[in-house]
Amino acid sequence: MKFTIQKDLLLESIQHVMKAISSRVTIPILTGIKIEASYEGIKLTGSDSDISIESFIPSEEDGIIHVENIEPGSIVVQSKYFPDIIRKLPLKTVEINTTEDYKVNIISGGSEFHLNGQDPNEYPQLPVLYTENSFTLSNSVLKEIIKQTVYAVSTVETRPILTGVNMTLNNDALNFVATDSHRLASRHLSIELVENQLNLKNVVIPGKSLGELNKIIEENDDPISISVTENQILFQTKNLYFLSRLLDGNYPETSRLIPDHSKTTILTNTKQLLNAIDRASLLARENKNNVVKLETKGNNRLEISGHTPEVGQVIEEVNAEAIDGEELKISFSAKYMLDALKIIESENVKIEFTGAMRPFIIKPENDHDILQLILPVRTF
């Protein structure tokens, strides 16, 4: 195998596939990066069995040569050293060639590295997913959906199913839901399916996989194809193949958690409320839960307070756009509320309460596709 490649493109692909490589894998060869050269371009692969990522660098794109002097072949290189070597090479191009006994030579300017490689035939073959259960989104829409839901997955393994995001698709309605049983985030999207109707029910994607995918895909309108089989999901762009296992088990029915009426509704400026809760949480270290209290006052005023007996107290006042319904005193986790408000991009936020001990709903003022739910904390 032999090729000469633009260093920055190679480095970008290495960074993508490194997101799938773990030192904890049971198959030693999976700690390496597989490199395959063909006349079409260079393919890099990283995998830890749960996530597999392939990144492709075409030899020519839009008339620009990325890779030249190609002699096809493949090798597995050590991921512990290879990325740092490439990063620190002196020139903008790098030549890589291999010998028959799996030695890898890396040459750039006056620098020459000789690494021990491994037999690429020992690297597990990634499954090729041919599935009719496919649909397409744009990169930017998928990034938005991930940002709006993945923060609410559980970080503890006591209920593994809750460490994932539940994706359902039914008659052109796509829903993503995440919950850790104390809060919930959901995003609805209407999509037009080009061909047959799709019905996807219990597809639970690990939150970790979506987090890594979000770091790789670019903020643009290029299409990303999503394909689902029984136990795997594939996200595919022009030059990227991101495969993740799905979580086993049935995701809980979350729709019944969402109240269908409210007793108190608050409409207020998103940023002002976020900043007030942020400041109140500075002195709200009670039980390490970061609990703040919210109380409705006359003349459309909200009082937000936080206190720790040993430290002191803070009281914030926010003028709301409108407060309708019953008076309210409620306590909740400042962290959960801040997480929820950070993903709301509209100027005003609407919060609907059904009582001091009932879950409450947070959503943008005029957007019914985003909905978040937080359980209050009992402090009274």
Listed by start position, the domains of the chain span 2-122, 134-255, 258-374
Q: What is the pLDDT of residues 188-231, one digit of tens each?
A: 999 887 666 678 888 999 999 999 999 999 999 999 999 998 89
How many Å from the N-terminal Cα to the C-terminal Cα in the chain?
70
A 10 A CB-CB count for 235 gives 23
Residue in the block written with tokens 């035939």? 121
Q: What is the pLDDT of residues 317-376, one digit of tens each?
A: 999 999 999 999 999 999 999 999 999 999 999 999 999 999 999 999 989 899 999 999
User: Which CATH architecture group holds 258-374?
Assistant: Box (3.70)
Cβ-Cβ contacts under 8 Å for 75 (sequence gap 6 or more):
1, 34, 35, 98, 102, 104, 117, 118, 120
Domains 134-255 and 258-374 fall in the same CATH topology: no
Q: What is the pLDDT of residues 121-153, one digit of tens each?
A: 999 988 777 667 889 999 999 999 999 999 999
- Cα–Cα dist 202/169, whole Å: 10
Mean pLDDT of 275-297: 86
- Cα–Cα dist 183/377, whole Å: 12
Model pTM score: 0.92
What pLDDT score was predicted for residue 128?
A: 76
Provide the β-strand partners of residue 43: 36, 56
User: Which CATH architecture group holds 134-255?
Assistant: Roll (3.10)
* Angle, helices 207-216/139-149, rounded to nearest 10 degrees: 140
Residue range 2-122 forms a domain whose CATH class is alpha beta
